[in-house]
Structure 1
Amino acid sequence: MVNVSLFLVMCILLIILPGPDTAIATKNTLTVGKKGGLQTIIGSCCGLLIHTFAAVIGLSAIIVKSAYVFAILKYVGAVYLCYLGVKTLWALKALRSQQIEENDETITDDKYDSHSSFKQGFLTNITNPKVAVFFLTFLPQFVDGTGNTFLPFLTMGVIYTALTAMWFVFYVYLLDKISAFMKKPKTKTIIEGLTGTILIGFGIKLALEKAH
């Protein structure tokens, strides 16, 4: 692997940019709590590891080259993101009808569980073909193509996943610390409304993404 320092800097910059994973982690941290946020991170990182291994063995290359396979993954991911966005916006109806914050927290904890958070994080990541494209276009820039690329690709994918996990753990704990403010009915309504809209936006953007 070459340009290790540049690789790490680029990883950090790319990871902190908000995306579908950030939106899902935000939603689940606010609705389920710290446990839900952490389970979402685990799900997202499992998806990243699968994309890493897929890139290493060449499956990602097949996805990128096959317009049919790319389209299937793209639309599945787009529909799922839109579904989560609509579900989040729909939940605002129930949120507005709740009379006190304590009841809101109790109902929320009963309605959602960590398994659902893990599934949402995993499916959001694994059904996004842009992640496969990212690994194929980003990682090769830091590898000397004259030698065996298996180990360098695997190492970079694991490093990227680890950095992603560290960033989101910090992000979830930060949200949890300010949850008293974030969980106020008015604040929560605004946040969930924005999150739902962003998720739908990401879904539409993904659906319009063209295979190259």
Structure 2
Amino acid sequence: MENFYLYILMCIFLIILPGPDTAVATKNTLSQGSSAGLKTALGTCCALLIHTSAAVLGLSAIIVKSALLFSVFKYVGAIYLIYLGAKTLWSLWKKEEAATAETETKIQFEKSSCFKQGFLTNILNPKVAVFFLTFLPQFVEAGSNTFVPFLLMGITYTALTAVWFLFYVYLIHQVSTFMKKPKAQAAIEGITGTILIGFGLKLAFEKAQH
């Protein structure tokens, strides 16, 4: 493996760039609290480990080279992101006063789905597979065995992502204490819902890279 420290630096810059994973984590943290944000981040990290395994085993290369498989993952991922965004926007129209017991039950259900949202948002994004297959080889010597280097770099990327989300969710949770007004929360949910739909549309029109 070459320039491992440069790889770590590049990963940090890439991880902190806003994307679908960040949008989902932000939405869940602001609407349901830090535990929901952390569950979302855990789902994202689990998906990254699967992407790492796929890259190591060569499955990502198959997905990237197959226009059909790439399109399937792309459109399913795009539909899911649009669904999450539309669901967030729709909830703004359906907010009504509810009984305490019903509200608590709803919150528990929503928190249990946060892991799934983080996991599916990442695993269904074919651009992550493209990233692993195009970015990781830049730090491996030509002609060398890629199994161990890819595994190490994938685990490193996942670990850095976990650290970033721990900090990010904590920061968002602290900031959210100043944004408890209904109008502010409605604006935030509206913005994040729109962003998720935008990411979904962008992914849907993304061309396969060969």
TM (norm. structure 1) is 0.92
Give the letter aligned to residue 60 of structure 1: S
- 2:13 is matched with 13
After superposition, the Cα gap between the structure-2 partners of 1:71 and 1:54, relative to the gap in structure 1 and judged at 3 Å, is same
107, 130, 134: which is aligned to 2:103? 107
1:91-150 per-position Cα deviation (integer Å, ceiling 9, x unaligned): 11234x559xxx99x937734433200000000000000000000010000111222110
Q: Would the aligned equivalents of 1:28 and 1:117 in 2 still touch at CA under 8 Å? A: yes
Identity score, percent: 65
- 2:129 is matched with 132
Cα separation, 1, equivalents of 2:81 and 2:104:
21
Once structures 1 and 2 are overlaid, which stretch shifts more, 112-121 or 71-80?
Answer: 112-121
Cα separation, 1, equivalents of 2:94 and 2:57:
46
- Please give the residue correspondences for 1:19-168 in structure 2 after superposition, counting only pairs within 5 Å: 19-95=19-95, 97=96, 107=103, 110-111=106-107, 112-168=109-165
Moved over 4 A (4+): none
Aligned residue-pair number: 207
5+ residue gaps in structure 1?
A: none
Q: Would the aligned equivalents of 1:81 and 1:202 in 2 still touch at CA under 8 Å? A: yes
SS at match of 2:94: helix
Cα separation, 2, equivalents of 1:201 and 1:117:
20
After superposition, the Cα gap between the structure-2 partners of 1:186 and 1:37, relative to the gap in structure 1 and judged at 3 Å, is same
Shift of 1:182: 2.7
166, 170, 174: which is aligned to 1:173? 170
Give the letter aligned to residue 189 of structure 1: A
After superposition, the Cα gap between the structure-2 partners of 1:185 and 1:203, relative to the gap in structure 1 and judged at 3 Å, is same
- 2:182 is matched with 185
5+ residue gaps in structure 2?
A: none
